[in-house]
């Protein structure tokens, strides 16, 4: 019989997606849930049919369960270090929501504890599991696009002011969100940028707070230089009414790819001698008309369900998770450098040693 493990989820906002993913995951014996807010705990527990003995308002109590091998940390971002370290010290493997934490020195503490306790530490960046992004990654890594020249990674979303006030108002604060549109929303896009284009060598940014009553930025624009010499732009905003797309455009010397959200909308390769029928095939597979159910039909788990499945598989197989903690660190390093650039008016080089920003 294949091994099965108990899986815990702490924090039941986006944590609900971890609960539904774990309930459907191969290798999951049962799901336990925890939230300090009792009404939320029972609402989610009832919605997913979680047995009363697997519901907790105390994280410590849930962590005392020896039959839970791994937990997802889905609490506000500025709490991830404390919660992840507590879980690892209690012997659990940990999958932490993005951003891994809001400051590099805290992430370094988490990585050190993972090593000391020999626990797995994974980070959620579920966009990386989208088949179109995986295909773009393979295409770039194959060298087909030639030398990378330039790129745009732009997130144009919209959030009402009320979004920043709800749930205790932790979003848009330096102390708990670690930033605004970039640290919270655009962190996914920053991760994709460094995953696809390669490591960032410097960043020059401007940020502003345009339509929201928050401490942090709701808009940022940055010029980014990569270690491979490519240059590009990064934009993130929560002011783009009514909420538009994440667009990614990548140009190499021998090819160009455009993406809108998680779909490929343009695919031009210089070595395509098939009169552009390759583009037609790529768009059929990964374009806007790809049916929503295509992944499920192909047996591919994407999104949070895919990341929770990967974490459970990693624990059972004794291998690292797909997106390890140190990859979660890379995005936060770029973002802290971006904030430092906007604050100082200087271009900031990476590796970046942070000064105290905001808080
Ligand atoms: N991967 C994604 O697409 C995605 C989407 C949304 C949020 N997130 C991340 O998930 C985390 C949670 O965000 P959210 O939108 O679910 O937040 P939320 O405010 O909706 O939910 C957080 C939950 O944590 C609970 N909680 C547990 N312990 C707590 C404590 N000690 N103090 C305060 N609250 C506590 C709250 O009661 C609440 O139910 C953040 O790090 C966020 O960046 C990721």
Per-residue pLDDT in tens (0 to 9) along the chain, 359 residues:
579 999 999 999 999 999 999 999 999 999 999 999 999 999 999 999 999 999 999 999 999 999 999 999 999 999 999 999 999 999 999 999 999 999 999 999 999 999 999 999 999 999 999 999 999 999 999 999 999 999 999 999 999 999 999 999 999 999 999 999 999 999 999 999 999 999 999 999 999 999 999 999 999 999 999 999 999 999 999 999 999 999 999 999 999 999 999 999 999 999 987 766 899 999 999 999 888 788 877 788 999 999 999 999 999 999 999 999 999 999 999 999 999 999 999 999 999 987 655 44
Same domain assignment for residues 100 and 176: no
Same domain assignment for residues 156 and 267: yes
Q: Mind listing the pLDDT tens digit for each residue in 50-98?
A: 999 999 999 999 999 999 999 999 999 999 999 999 999 999 999 999 9
Ligand 1 centroid – CA 171 distance (Å): 10
Please indicate, yes or no, if residue 85 is contained in any of the structural domains.
Answer: yes
pLDDT for residue 292: 78
What is the C-alpha separation between 74 and 104, in angstroms, rounded?
19
Ligand 1 centroid – CA 13 distance (Å): 5
Cis preceding-peptide flag for 118 (omega within 30 of 0): no
- Measured CA distances, 244 to 126, 237, 295, 304 (Å): 19, 10, 24, 22
Cis preceding-peptide flag for 351 (omega within 30 of 0): yes
Please indicate, yes or no, if residue 297 is contained in any of the structural domains.
Answer: no
DSSP 235-248: EEESBSTT---EEE
Please indicate, yes or no, if residue 195 is contained in any of the structural domains.
Answer: yes
Same domain assignment for residues 162 and 25: no
Same domain assignment for residues 122 and 133: no
What residues are paired with 70 via a beta bridge? 7, 93
> Which domain CATH number covers 188?
3.30.360.10
Ligand 1 centroid – CA 170 distance (Å): 9
Domain enclosing residue 209, as ranges: 128-291+333-342
> Which residues, in sequence order, are CB contacts of 35 under 8 Å at separation 6+?
10, 11, 12, 15, 41, 44, 57
Whole-model pTM: value is: 0.96
Buried b (16+ CB within 10 A) or exposed e, 111-146: bebbeebebbbbbbbbbbbbbbbebbeebbeeeebe
Ligand 1 centroid – CA 203 distance (Å): 29
Q: Which of ligand 1's atoms lies nearest the C-alpha of 124? A: 1
Q: Which of ligand 1's atoms lies nearest the C-alpha of 75? A: 24
H-helix segments, the chain? 15-24, 38-48, 59-63, 80-89, 104-117, 131-141, 161-165, 187-197, 277-286, 294-297, 303-317, 325-344
Please indicate, yes or no, if residue 359 is contained in any of the structural domains.
Answer: no
Same domain assignment for residues 166 and 242: yes
Same domain assignment for residues 315 and 182: no
Of 125, 130, 139, 138, nearest in space to 292 by CA: 130
Of 198, 335, 192, 187, nearest in space to 262 by CA: 192
Query: Using CB atoms within 10 A of its CB, is residue 278 exposed (0-12), middle (13-18) or buried (19+)?
Result: middle
Please indicate, yes or no, if residue 356 is contained in any of the structural domains.
Answer: no
Ligand 1 binding site (Cβ under 6 Å of any ligand atom): 11-14, 35-37, 40, 74-77, 79, 97-98, 124, 126, 167, 184
- Measured CA distances, 148 to 10, 74, 144 (Å): 41, 36, 10
10's tokens: 């702490």
**Total tally of structural domains belonging to the chain:** 2
Pocket-testing residue among 45, 61, 76, 96, ligand 1, by greatest number of atoms within 8 A of Cβ: 76
pLDDT for residue 359: 41
What is the C-alpha separation between 317 and 251, in angstroms, rounded?
38
Ligand 1 centroid – CA 43 distance (Å): 15
User: Nearest residue CA, atom 39 of ligand 1?
Assistant: 12
User: Nearest residue CA, atom 18 of ligand 1?
Assistant: 13
Rg of the chain's alpha carbons, rounded to an integer? 21
Same domain assignment for residues 313 and 285: no
Pocket-testing residue among 8, 9, 10, 11, ligand 1, by greatest number of atoms within 8 A of Cβ: 11
Same domain assignment for residues 142 and 121: no
Please indicate, yes or no, if residue 190 is contained in any of the structural domains.
Answer: yes
Same domain assignment for residues 49 and 149: no
Half-sphere exposure of 301 (CA within 13 A, CB side): 18
Rounded (10°) angle between helices 104-117 and 325-344: 160
pLDDT for residue 120: 98
Ligand 1 centroid – CA 328 distance (Å): 17
Ligand 1 centroid – CA 37 distance (Å): 12
Same domain assignment for residues 140 and 217: yes
Ligand 1 centroid – CA 51 distance (Å): 22
């Amino acid at each position: 019989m294949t091994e099965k493990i108990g899986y815990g989820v702490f924090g039941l906002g986006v944590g609900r997606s971890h609960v539904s993913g774990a309930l459907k995951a191969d290798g999951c014996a049962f799901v336990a849930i925890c939230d300090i807010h009792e009404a939320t705990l029972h609402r989610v527990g009832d919605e997913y049919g979680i047995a009363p003995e697997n519901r907790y308002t105390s994280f410590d109590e849930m962590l005392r369960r020896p039959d839970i091998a791994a937990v997802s940390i889905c609490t506000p971002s500025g709490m991830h270090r404390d919660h992840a370290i507590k879980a690892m010290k209690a012997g659990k493997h940990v999958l932490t929501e993005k951003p891994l934490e809001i400051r590099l020195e805290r992430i370094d503490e988490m990585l050190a504890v993972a090593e000391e306790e020999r626990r797995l530490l994974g980070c959620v960046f579920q966009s990386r599991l989208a088949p179109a992004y995986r295909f773009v990654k393979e295409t770039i890594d194959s060298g087909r696009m030639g030398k990378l020249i330039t790129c745009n990674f732009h997130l144009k979303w919209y959030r009402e002011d009320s979004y920043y006030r709800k749930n205790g108002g932790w979003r848009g604060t330096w102390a708990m969100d670690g930033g605004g549109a970039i640290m919270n929303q655009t962190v996914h896009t920053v991760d994709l940028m460094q995953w696809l284009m390669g490591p960032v060598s410097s960043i020059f940014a401007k940020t502003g707070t345009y339509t929201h009553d928050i401490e942090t930025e709701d808009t940022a624009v940055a010029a980014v230089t990569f270690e491979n010499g490519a240059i590009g732009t990064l934009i993130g905003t929560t002011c783009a009414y009514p909420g538009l797309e994440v667009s990614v455009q990548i140009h190499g010397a021998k090819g160009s790819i455009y993406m809108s959200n998680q779909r490929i909308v343009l695919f031009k390769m210089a070595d395509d001698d098939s009169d552009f029928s390759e583009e037609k095939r790529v768009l059929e597979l990964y374009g806007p008309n790809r049916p929503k159910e295509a992944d499920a039909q192909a047996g591919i788990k994407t999104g949070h369900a895919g990341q929770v499945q990967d974490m459970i598989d990693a624990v059972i197989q004794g291998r690292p998770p797909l997106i390890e903690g140190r990859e979660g660190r890379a995005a936060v390093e770029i973002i802290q450098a971006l904030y430092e650039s906007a604050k100082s008016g200087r271009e900031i080089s990476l590796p970046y040693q942070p000064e105290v920003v905001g808080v």
